[in-house]
Amino acid sequence: MSSIEGKFLQIFGAEPDLVAAAPGRVNLIGEHIDYSEGFVLPFAIKDRTLVAARKRDDSTVRIASVQRRNKIITVDIADVKPGLKGEWERYALGVLWSMDVKGGVDLLIDGHVPLGAGLSSSAALECSVATAMNHLFDMGFNLEELARLTQKAENQYVGVPCGIMDQSVSLMATTGSALLLDCRDLSTRNIPFDVASHGLELLIIDTQAHHALTDGGYAERRASCESVASKLSVKSMRELTMTKLDSSRGLITETEYIRARHAVTEMKRVLDCVEALSSGDFATVGQLINASHISLRDDYTVSCPELDTAVEASLLAGALGSRMVGGGFGGSAIALIQASKTTETIHAVEKAFAEKKFKAPRFFTSLPSQGAELLSRR
């Protein structure tokens, strides 16, 4: 019996029917363009969230988390609707709601994706629960449908206006590859991302910063892109080019122009990055990563002093490229570095943080890992 099955037995008095898992993610490139129907290139990290689940023969939902001292939260499935108050468990209950689960269930969550680091621990939780429910109740949803349902849970139940990237990669990623995701139709291509055989490493730097701006800042950026689309009569930023944007500059505000410029140029950088990866041209990959950061910092203005410091210190230590990842205003940065320079880079970033009196950062590395999967079933 695995450790989560043993804990489940202790807490709920019976063995689970199944155990599922889903990972967190980092995004190589393609930031703040998933909600503009763009291309993104994230990969799943090795850290994942496990969920053990057992069907009940009544309508009760009991949910506990190893990280929350196994405290059991009990609710009737009929009451699981947007508006129901709660904390972390809303991410799991929201998925039961969006998938229209009808019966009772016991769920034990064991999350290993660092919390608050911008590595999508919430998507890992949602997608592990969705995978478990899909199997437990033989619901037959495919991965695209699960991505939309988990996003719906986060948008409408939890109330966070996120795009579709984090859930998609958590569900669809494969070992060894980054996932080129077309956010317009959720079609994908696996792009081999083998840094190790080029003597490189992708360092993940968790700045441990979290600025309160986050939620409003994210929604405001999204609204800008939607406003540009409506003023220029296009469905999304995907339909724009720099030529079209420049010729329509008079129809939108200056801020909208600058935000849209990020979206249009970032979409191109993703496709250029795929091409550079296919020819093993990591110098170009690094330059594109740098250009992405500059655009997020200056045009989209979603960076923060801690992220900029992590990026600058990594580059000074010799990184090929470095940028913030995820929604911004805190969270993590990535740095593409020579594997032989890992310790040196870590020290350089630590020193730069100490000098600015920032909270000490945390460091992770991860190879591209497997997306959500069923681990065991009785």
Write out the residues near ligand GLA by the rule CB under 6 A. Answer: 31-32, 34-35, 162-163, 165-166, 326-327
CA-nearest of 4, 42, 44 to 20 is: 4
Residue 118 Cβ vs ligand GLA, minimum distance, rounded to whole Å: 7
Question: CB 163 → ligand GLA: shortest distance, Å?
Answer: 3
Q: Check 34, 47, 166, 299 and give the catalytic one.
A: 166
Calpha distance 96→100 (Å, rounded): 6
Other beta carbons less than 10 A from residue 339's beta carbon: 14
Minimum CB distance to ligand GLA smaller for 54 or for 221: 221
For 367, list phi and psi in degrees, rounded to 5. Answer: -85, 160
CB of 25 to ligand GLA, least distance (A): 8
As measured in angstroms, the least distance from the Cβ of 225 to ligand GLA is 11
Shortest spacing between CB 326 and ligand GLA, in angstroms? 4
Q: Is 260 helix (H, G, I), strand (E, B) or coil?
A: helix
CA dihedral 149, 91, 44, 188 (to 10 degrees): 10
109 to 65, 66, 166, 206, 242: CA distances (angstroms): 5, 6, 19, 23, 46
3-class SS shares of the chain: helix, strand, coil, % to 5: 45, 25, 30
Residues shown for the chain: 378
138 Ramachandran zone, left/alpha/beta (phi>0; psi -120 to 50): left
- The minimum distance between CB 351 and ligand GLA, in angstroms, equals 29
Shorter beta-carbon distance to ligand GLA: residue 165 or 274: 165
Q: Which is nearer to ligand GLA, 162 or 180 (CB)?
A: 162
Nearer to ligand GLA, 9 or 186 (CB): 186
Nearest alpha carbon to residue 308 among 368, 344, 361, 364: 361
34 is known as an active-site residue: no
Pick from 46, 19, 329, 277: nearest CA to 170:
46
Beta strand 60-65 pairing with 105-111? parallel
Question: Between 94 and 163, whose beta carbon lies closer to ligand GLA?
Answer: 163
Closest C-alpha to 167, from 140, 147, 195: 147
Q: Which is nearer to ligand GLA, 80 or 165 (CB)?
A: 165
Listed in sequence order, the residues at least 6 apart from 142 whose beta carbon sits closer than 8 Å to its beta carbon are: none
Q: Give the distance, in angstroms, between the CA of residue 178 and the centroid of all CA atoms in the same chain.
A: 13
Point out the residues that are catalytic. 166
